[in-house]
Amino acid sequence: MNCRYKHGRRRHGPVKQVVRGLSDRFGVKRKYVIAGFVLGFVFVPLLTLLLFLATLYWVNHPEGIEDTLDRLLRKVRRAIRATWTRTTYASDGLGEVTIDDDDDVDFADLRRRFDDLERRAEGMEEYVSSEEHALNREFQRIRDPDGI
């Protein structure tokens, strides 16, 4: 068998490591990962080989790569924020919006707020299309026929 033991754990060959690592990380079936690499080797072999080697390193050292990417992302955010410092622009008639150094863009927070707004909008849509809403509107019309 092609398995070796390292630190008490069973270790597979590089191809199996990459396929399992990508499959587990991105939630894709292993056959799709294999098909992607086969197609890559057919059409762009050198680039696919470099991608394979980079992925192999990433699968074996995930913390190092992800920490490096996080640092790079922070630098890019700082650079963008520096170019937008004290930049003022109109925001569709809602007044002036100013972006300062103090503003910290947190995409996870924005995503959570967007999901909350989407959930609330779905609730409103469900209520408006319900029989209860139609019944409440009819009662309102009966109470105040000239108000609507």
Tens of pLDDT, residue by residue over 77-117, are 888 887 776 554 544 455 555 555 455 556 777 788 888 88
Q: Is 144 inside a domain boundary? A: yes
Q: Is 70 inside a domain boundary? A: no
Q: Is 141 inside a domain boundary? A: yes
Q: What is the pLDDT of residue 5?
A: 46
Give the chain's mean pLDDT.
78
Q: What is the pLDDT of residue 147?
A: 63
Q: Is 36 inside a domain boundary? A: no
* Positions of the chain with pLDDT lower than 50, given as ranges: 1, 5, 8, 88, 90-92, 101
pTM score, whole prediction: 0.42
Q: What is the pLDDT of residue 1?
A: 44
Q: Is 65 inside a domain boundary? A: no
| CB-CB neighbours of 22 under 10 Å | 20
Taking the C-alpha atoms of residue 141 and residue 69, their distance in angstroms, rounded to an integer, is 60
Number of domains in the chain: 1
Taking the C-alpha atoms of residue 141 and residue 148, their distance in angstroms, rounded to an integer, is 7
Structural domain boundaries, residue 123? 106-148
Taking the C-alpha atoms of residue 42 and residue 48, their distance in angstroms, rounded to an integer, is 9
DSSP code of residue 130? S
